[in-house]
Structures are given as C-alpha cells and as structure tokens.
Amino acid sequence: MLKPGTLLGELLEPATMAHEIELAMIEQGLLVLDDETPEAAENRRRSFIAISTGVIVHLKAALEITIAANRINASQPPSAVKILGAAGEIA
C-alpha cells in the first residue's frame, strides 16, 4: 500500500513515501541536516508529505493495467482485461 506519510512529532512516519524521499536525498548528499533550523526541517518534511500525497493521488487516478490472457488455441487472439483507477478506486 502506498502511504504518503505524516509527521510524528518532528520526524516523518517510517516506511512512507515522504520518509523514503528524505532518506534518498540524504544518501545523495542533497540534505545536510546539521545546519537546518527546526522550522526549516518541518517545512521541508511537510513539502515531502505534500509531494508524496500528490504523486499517490495521481497514480491512483491514472492507474491503468491491461492483463492479456492467452487462450489455449493459438489461432485465437488473447483476450484483455483492463483495470482502471478513478480517484483511487479500482473499477
């Protein structure tokens, strides 16, 4: 399940998209947390939550999966089933 994340006190909820973004940016050397004020850290983490929320909402709304099932008889074309997402619902 995709979870955007929330703030738990001053930290991001573990195992969420926002937390993974923060970890990846630290790993790439894009964040230096030692010089950051608490207000700046909170704003950055809230930005990661907002970005993660937008990505997940978009993925749920735009989800389209096509599953092709081959028939036993090779002379028949495969049938296809589409699963579409609309506002996070699988229809």
Q: What is the pLDDT of residues 3-25, one digit of tens each?
A: 999 999 999 999 999 999 999 99
DSSP 29-57: T---GGG--HHHHHHHHHHHHHHHHHHHH
pTM value? Answer: 0.71
Q: What residue spans define the domains of the chain?
A: 7-90
pLDDT: which is higher, 44 or 87: 44
Please tell me the predicted confidence (pLDDT) of residue 1: 81
Distance CA 45, CA 5 (A): 10
Q: What is the pLDDT of residues 26-75, one digit of tens each?
A: 999 999 888 889 999 999 999 999 999 999 999 888 887 776 666 555 56
How many of the other CB atoms lie within 10 Å of CB of 60?
Answer: 15
